[in-house]
């Protein structure tokens, strides 16, 4: 028998190492030629490794989450024949599914991580020893000493007292049904009549979980930590009246025919693209190592999209050149390709400015983390209805129900001044509060 050592190949220019995100074999397994060995994740892609030989797996490089250097042994396979087996002359290049990660902050999703173990809660401490018995004869059924303010004169078994403690019930408030002794049935009746009194448990007891952070969730953590570590963030929030914008959107959708349905996002992107020429410092990237800021003429707009694999940011190329319907179609296409995992590398890189929206979950205001090396990120929040004072057309005011939405922006204070960020958002506000300007040349 011989052995073949499969070493991690060079899977991309400038890539020095890759993380093990999944094993498809274990020690002792038989693997066929071209059989799947492992999935490796780099900064740019998840790559599937295939075996160039058939045989029995005798060792693997490590566990899921470990990082392996290019050229290091990944799998050792026992093969037929003597000595070190040789790879085929033209081994096929590893197949890859490119999933580049341009990430925004979000609450972690349990689907992005690998469950390691469930740790049961520690057992409760043993109760202190009972005091010596008094000289007097004890009653026929033992009555446990009362703690935490419970009435010591109430007769009850130790089990009933323990249940009352767990529920936070003072036994002196429970009416005994017979013989002056509180029983479980009396507790049940008390709970039935006091269901809103806060005596029921808030939730079921659950064990702790230890989660290993690997794959995309690790990349999210690393990117967000780097962004917060290197970028001095500041945020600005402004309230906008989108009542007329919503009216215009409904009118456009009513006559859209076979065009895609308009959401708020294409309208906001249009307002952003019309405003950016006056604020070029917003549509920029900062290379802090070289000390160079590049202000971009074209708007390559990153669009944060939640996917089963984690948050991804597909890019709308040259957003400034698209009309409302084209933007709506491109938003839908990119969101679907990100969710299905079919997004290409060029669709997931090169953004110059990012918009992150949680739709109806957007809250009142957000402080999103900048998608480094960009210098700004914009977050529209949810639309709410409130009474507002509006002009009545006769020199006075009247109260009217209006639709309001806050726009949040986070900026890199090394590149963008507070005055510039505020002025930029105010210019967007003017456009969306006077929506006819969005369609004017």
* Catalytic residue set: 413, 417
DSSP 272-295: HHHHGGG-TTTSEEEETTTTEEEE
Judge contact between 408 and 240, C-beta under 8 A: no
The answer to whether 307 and 101 are in contact (CB under 8 A) is no
Axis-axis angle for helices 264-275, 418-433 (nearest 10): 130
Residue by residue, DSSP assigns 154-214 as -EE-HHHHHHHHHHT--GGGSPPSBTTEE-HHHHHHHHHHTTTTT-S-SS----EEEEE--
**Cis link prior to 373 (omega < 30° from 0)?**
yes
At 379, give phi and psi (nearest 5°): -130, 100
Are 415 and 238 in contact, with CB atoms under 8 Å apart? Answer: no
Residues contacting residue 347 through CB under 8 Å, at least 6 positions apart: 314, 315, 334, 337
Q: What is the CA radius of gyration of the chain?
A: 32
Are the C-beta atoms of 388 and 400 separated by less than 8 Å?
Answer: yes
| Alpha carbon distance 195, 2 (integer Å) | 73
Report the distance separating Cα 151 and Cα 215, nearest Å.
57
């Amino acid at each position: 028998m011989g052995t073949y050592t499969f070493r991690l190949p060079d899977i991309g220019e400038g890539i020095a190492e890759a993380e093990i995100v999944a094993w498809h074999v274990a020690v002792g397994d038989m693997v066929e030629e071209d059989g799947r060995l492992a999935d490796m994740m780099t900064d740019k892609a998840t790559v599937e490794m295939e075996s160039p030989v058939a045989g029995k797996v005798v060792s693997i490089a490590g566990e899921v989450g470990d990082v392996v250097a290019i050229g290091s042994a990944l799998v050792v396979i026992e093969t037929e024949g003597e000595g070190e087996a040789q790879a085929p002359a033209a081994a096929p290049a590893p197949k890859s599914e490119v999933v580049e990660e341009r990430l925004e902050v979000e609450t972690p999703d349990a689907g992005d991580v690998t469950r390691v173990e469930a740790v049961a809660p520690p057992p409760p401490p043993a109760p202190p020893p009972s005091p010596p018995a008094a000289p007097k004869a004890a009653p026929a059924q033992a009555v446990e000493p009362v703690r935490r303010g419970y009435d010591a004169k109430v007769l009850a078994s130790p089990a009933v007292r323990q249940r009352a403690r767990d529920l936070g019930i003072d036994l002196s408030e429970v009416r005994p049904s017979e013989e002056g002794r509180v029983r479980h049935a009396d507790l049940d009746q008390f709970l039935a009549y006091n269901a809103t009194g806060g005596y029921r448990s808030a939730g079921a007891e659950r064990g702790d979980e230890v989660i290993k952070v690997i794959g995309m969730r690790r990349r999210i953590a690393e990117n967000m930590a780097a962004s917060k570590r290197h970028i001095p963030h500041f945020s600005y929030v402004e309230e906008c009246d989108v009542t007329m914008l919503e009216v215009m959107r409904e009118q456009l959708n009513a006559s859209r025919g076979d065009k895609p349905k308009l959401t708020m996002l294409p309208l906001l992107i249009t307002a952003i693209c019309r405003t950016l020429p006056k604020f070029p410092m917003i549509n920029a990237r900062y290379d802090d190592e070289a000390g160079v800021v590049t202000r971009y003429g074209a708007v390559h707009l990153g669009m944060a999209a939640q996917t089963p694999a984690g948050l991804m940011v597909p890019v709308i190329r040259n957003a400034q050149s698209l009309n409302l319907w084209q933007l709506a179609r491109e938003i839908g296409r990119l969101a679907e390709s990100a969710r299905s995992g079919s997004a290409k590398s060029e669709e997931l890189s090169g953004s110059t400015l990012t918009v992150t929206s949680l739709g109806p979950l957007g809250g009142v205001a957000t402080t999103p983390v900048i998608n480094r090396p960009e210098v700004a990120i914009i977050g529209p929040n949810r639309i709410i209805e409130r009474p507002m004072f509006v002009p009545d057309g006769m020199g006075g005011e009247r109260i009217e129900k209006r639709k309001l939405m806050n726009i949040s922006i986070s900026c890199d204070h090394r590149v963008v001044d507070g005055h510039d960020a505020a002025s930029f958002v105010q210019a967007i506000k003017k456009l969306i509060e006077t929506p006819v300007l969005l369609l004017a040349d």
